[in-house]
Chains A and B, each alone.
Chain A
């Protein structure tokens, strides 16, 4: 039974690299929307990318990956470094990018 609960928990909240809905990256130097344009452009070139969200307020770059696809940490760091920025942390979550976007918009209006 415990195994079943664990499996259900993982299915509900757990995230593996292969099934990640959203990859969130904390990025240093992210102060100018004009300059962060390059990050979005670079990440959208990756064939596994479905959508990109950039938040200067949260120093956040989030990538939604296509169903069943992932982008490795090495590729993400390479993309950000090649855009001239520095990744401080990478986290995979099950939160859909649209929910994250809505949350940030709501937070900005509070």
Chain B
């Protein structure tokens, strides 16, 4: 409960920090664009990322991931520099699909560490989107001498109406997430309302465990 209150109270702070900027939905927004993303993952994870994309197919940036284990009560913190790369994009007549990959290098601490240790991360994402349906599958692997984790996230979404560029987009999204490495038992399922317009994106909703899952993204 304490963790829930702590993170719930930090979400508005993260949002306030991001609002004056602008953000993204994928790890690469657009050429010469900056992305700021903050995620509060149902009391289990929190992540803040800032990326800049020199070209449309890669971006560079910094991030911080905090994991709070439900199992051993230890925390894992990873501060990293990351390279995101668009492996393949399919621009179809009324749809788009992408494969992204990324790699990170940084410093990690656990709840019992006094200092940081070298850690790395590798991940990939496949997504497919029309103006009515959306699906993405993302897998992230984290490793250091103190821990190894994988976080797999599946999202499926439907839009109640087809939005256009100048109008607000609304999506209903179901998210399923699994953690390995003594972070969380079972599958975390969340029902999210996603809203975005121009460069601002927000999604939030409850998990089946009664926690809050939320994400804010801005492109500019």
**Residues of chain A at the chain B interface (Cβ within 8 Å):** 27-42, 54-57, 59, 82-86, 108
Assess whether B94 is in contact with A54, with CB atoms less than 8 Å apart.
no
Most chain B beta-carbon neighbours within 10 Å: one of A31, A36, A38, A82: A31
Q: How far does the Cβ of B172 sit from chain A's closest Cβ, in whole Å?
A: 16
> Given the known A-B contacts A33-B196, A108-B164, are A38 and B91 also in contact in the complex, defined by CB atoms under 8 Å?
no
Interface residues of A: mostly helix, strand, loop or mixed? Answer: mixed
> Given the known A-B contacts A42-B30, A82-B31, are A34 and B89 also in contact in the complex, defined by CB atoms under 8 Å?
no
Question: What is the chain B residue whose CB lies nearest that of A33?
Answer: B165
Interface residues of B: mostly helix, strand, loop or mixed? Answer: loop
Assess whether A59 is in contact with B164, with CB atoms less than 8 Å apart.
no
Q: How far does the Cβ of B87 sit from chain A's closest Cβ, in whole Å?
A: 13
> Given the known A-B contacts A38-B30, A55-B164, are A31 and B130 also in contact in the complex, defined by CB atoms under 8 Å?
yes
- The contact of A34 among B25, B31, B86, by CB within 8 Å, is B25
Task: Please report which residues of chain B, range 10-31, place their CB below 8 angstroms from some CB of chain A when the two chains form the complex.
Answer: 24-26, 29-31
Question: Cα distance A83–B89 when bound, in Å?
Answer: 12
Assess whether A54 is in contact with B55, with CB atoms less than 8 Å apart.
no
